[in-house]
Structure 1
Amino acid sequence: MPALVPLIVIWTFVLSFVLCAIGGLLVIFERWTPRNPAVGKWLVRGVIVSMVGAVVGFGVKQFPGDSGNVTGPIGAEAAPATPASPRVAEPPEPAPTDTAATPTPAPALPVTPPVTPDVPPDSGPPAEVADWATATLGPRPTLAEIDAHPYPTCVEDMQAAADTALPEDSAACVRALDRYHLKYVLGYYTRKQPYAVQLDLQEQRMRAAGAGGDAAPRYAYVVAEIARLNGAEWDRVQALDQRLRGDRTACARRGCRPAA
């Protein structure tokens, strides 16, 4: 085999990985959106998440003595140096009076990670995981910031004014819509993106470790947060975003009047 063939193969893999990593970072920072949504999910979860997990695992093995002093989302939950033993629920100890009647305890059953946590949609984390969530996941995005500020009323005012509205009023309304979109809708997207990445990382790590024992409440909270961010709350933000885009187009082209 020619000496150049191994080098060509190695550099082909390296360049492919670098390109996939760059594509995943562009998707995370919303600089590029693939036409196929499955490609974006694969780049983020298959390449970026795997790369971050590999780096974290390598750092934990290289610096085992300092892992407890690292602050931030990853250091707060560094994986143990020794492989975790399978999580198996231990059978309850029999009462003294039942020892003779039940000499053989019931067989142990595997612990099933909780799937439906008892966490209200917008009540925040429970007390036992509040400090952990703040240190590990970062600021929690909610719709409170959007709900606290009413939608610009200039669109309805312009529609009520009919043909008496001036072009200057339409331009002012466009600026008001842009400010609302920039401060509140895009602000929500900015907080949600890193928070969602941390949720995915923590869910994968906890599920791989069994998500039992003391980690069960944290795993339940992570699962609930993922469901919240991708459920009705996300539908509300998307609907608001579409409404803003439609009203802005109407005001820029038709003086805020609806299409005939």
Structure 2
Amino acid sequence: MSTELKTTIQGAYSRFLEAKSLKPRYGQRLMIAEVAKVLGDIDTDDEGRRSGDPAIVAVEAGTGTGKTVAYSLATIPTAKAAGKRLVIATATVALQEQIVYKDLPDLMRNSGLNFTFALAKGRGRYMCLSKLDVLLQEGHAQTATASLFEEEGFKIEVDEVSQKLFTSMIEKLAGNKWDGDRDSWPTALEDSDWARLTTDHSQCTNRHCPNFGQCAFYKAREGMGKVDVIVTNHDMV
């Protein structure tokens, strides 16, 4: 590990502690040092690819150690110095959101480190615009048919409540007031409604889809290539 990288990590940790009026913790300092040492000593070739054995460090630390701060302070400067993008994977969505909405912003404000980050989610967390279009078209068609064949008991599969929801979604998308992410919709969505709106890898036609340019999932994925840190879950890695 270079002297410059050591200084960067040590300085960031000192600033973080001072800004938060905290005292250094032995376990946290040890974790920072061990993670930084392992990653900072990776040998690479002229193209930046690892040329030696895999670099692995396993750390077990108790509650209150400050693990997220420790590994972030060690890995973010190291990854940036190596020209690499850092991926942080967690087991739960709750921990992902804690890192993205609480821990990393706090670290940026108080450590002096300059970095960008984003939350990577699976395809199932994003609305499929093609499915939304179909549901809206079916809703309008069924409403017209129902009024014509009311006496025959015509059944509407896209009911009035769902129709209003889908219409609201398309309007918010068009007005750039929603990004197609289920978690950013202003109200809780029923699983049954969302299941009709999302897709999976086997159903998605990717670049062959007429809505590919406006696809919420692929727009989010494109943004992943522009950040320093990606936070995701184990299933995505």
- TM-score of the aligned structures, taking structure 2 as reference length: 0.24
Greater helix percent: which structure?
A: 1
Task: Please say which structure displays the higher CA radius of gyration.
Answer: 1
Greater strand percent: which structure?
A: 2
- TM-score of the aligned structures, taking structure 1 as reference length: 0.23
